[in-house]
Amino acid sequence: MLDKTAMQTWAERARAVLPAGGFGNFDPSIFIREGRGSRVWDEDGREYVDYLIGSGPMLLGHGHPEVLEAVAEQLPKGMTFFANNAAGVELAEEIVRAVACAEQARFLSSGGEADMYAMRLARAFTGRDKILKFEGGYHGMSAEAQMSLAPTRLVNFPQAVPDSAGIPEAVRAEMLIAPFNDVAYLESLAAEHGDEIAGIIIEPLQRIIPPEPGYLEAVRAICDRYGIVLIFDEVVTGFRFAYGGAQETYGVTPDLCTLGKIIGGGFPLAAVAGRADVMAHFDKAAVGAERWLMMLGTLSGNPVAAVAGLKTMEILRRPGAFDQLRANGARLQGMFARHLSDAGIPHRIVGHPTLFDIVFTDRDVRTYRDVLAADAGMNARLNAVLRENGVFKSPGKVYPSLALTEEDFALTEEAIAAAARALGESAGN
């Protein structure tokens, strides 16, 4: 009988103490031991070029020496205080300088918390109850966010489909669901429910699907017309597309945005940022007890996360950082397009150079339903062959980083070529 590998042993131990054998985030059979720069190693010692980068936060790569130095300097001073700290204030100041909508910021520990509070802020500010989100849009794990995130049962809009057990029917009744990139439908929905909608929450790039030209401008105009709070979920796009995030890239300013991943430099930290009159609902003295939104978090504004985020953002401000990041992504997109096309495999490269994936379809991808109709099995086979050949990525995204080297690109292209050949052979091409 063959001895178990280290990962098999860890998987067995995990199944005994963790539901479904994992943390709920990623393939539970994979155990990552360490990461350095652009690479990660699993518990069996296998090395990979990392395009998962912790689901996005490790934009500089793992263990960037300047970030480690900032963290090492803070650790002896204290890890958390449940009180204000100077680094957190400096981080808020930098967010306000960088992000178009941000007049004030409030910290939390996760992007999902930030999204939950942003929706609650919209309700507190407007006195309305309904929230509009887009089918396929991801906004964390709150009851509102778990409506029509990944429905396999497609229903008529604006009906919401719960993605999770344990959500009261009353929550579903207060959610409206719209298709992404459909201005006409959104106009009609707002005409019917505009005076009931507190907020519209949207990923400016929905998972990987770009907004069509003029779409975000149209959403902004609808919110202005009906007094709706526009929330950009920039947990992923913030400080990734550009230093000012998707707001800078697309030239559309929301009322609120949520930030995470990069602003914590790899540590748990997120934020809600936006207009001062909306953010005032976090201040009981400013709005009164009836309109005050209570918010507490043991680790909110944690000083270790704050210094890591500050150093990460400082590095991103250096000349050429975003040009390099976008160039890295465009280079990867070109590799996928070239090898898959040569293998005769219908596909679309969908997203932005800093965040994209391959969708196996022969038609343009505008909405969640277009992704759902694509060949998911082909995508799973692509990811499996890439991993077998030393490339580690999410099931649905490629995250380039600034740590990528020429050796990484060479290895990645070999893996993509192998995957394209395997897919071509399975398709009979």
Residue 141 has pLDDT above 60, yes or no: yes
Q: Write the pLDDT tens digit of every residue in 82-101.
A: 999 999 999 999 999 999 99
Catalytic residue among 48, 117, 138, 250: 138
Q: What average pLDDT does range 29-43 have in this prediction?
A: 97
Residue 281 has pLDDT above 80, yes or no: yes
CATH 1.10.8.60 fits 31-63+321-426, yes or no: no
Q: How high is the mean pLDDT of the chain? A: 97
Q: How confident is the model at residue 426 (pLDDT cuts 50, 70, 90)?
A: confident
- Cα–Cα distance between 87 and 84 in angstroms, integer? 9
**Catalytic: 233?**
yes
Q: Among the options 182, 233, 357, 375, which is catalytic?
A: 233
Between CA 311 and CA 42 the distance in angstroms is: 28
Structure tokens at 257: 């945005």
Comparing C-alpha atoms, which of 221, 259, 255, 258 is closest to residue 101?
255
Catalytic residue among 50, 51, 133, 261: 261
What are the C-alpha distances in Å from 21 to residues 24, 43, 295, 378?
8, 16, 32, 26
Q: In the annotation, is 342 catalytic? A: no
The mean per-residue pLDDT over the stretch 379-388 comes to 97
Residues 6+ apart with CB under 8 A from 19: none
**Distance between CA atoms of 170 and 159, rounded to whole angstroms?**
13
Whole-number Å distance between alpha carbons of 379 and 356: 13
Domains of the chain, by residue range, sit at: 31-63+321-426, 65-316
Q: Which residues pair with 40 in a beta bridge?
A: 35, 48
Instruction: Render pLDDT for 218-276 as a digit per residue (tens, 0 to 9).
Output: 999 999 999 999 999 999 999 999 999 999 999 999 999 999 999 999 999 999 999 99
Residue 84 CB burial class (10 angstroms; 0-12, 13-18, ≥19): exposed
Residue 384: how many CA atoms within 13 Å on its side-chain side?
Answer: 9
Report DSSP letters for 348-399, one per residue.
EEEEETTEEEEE--SS---SHHHHHTS-HHHHHHHHHHHHHTTEE--SS-B-
DSSP 8-state code for residue 206: B
Mean pLDDT along residues 175-179: 98
Is the pLDDT reported for residue 1 higher than 60? no
Predicted confidence at residue 2, as pLDDT, reads: 63
- In the structure, what pLDDT confidence band is assigned to residue 305 with cuts at 50, 70 and 90? very high
Pick the closest to residue 111 from 201, 228, 2, 11 (CA basis).
Answer: 201
The C-alpha torsion from 109 through 110 and 112 to 118, rounded to 10°, is 50
Architecture of domain 65-316: 3-Layer(aba) Sandwich (3.40)
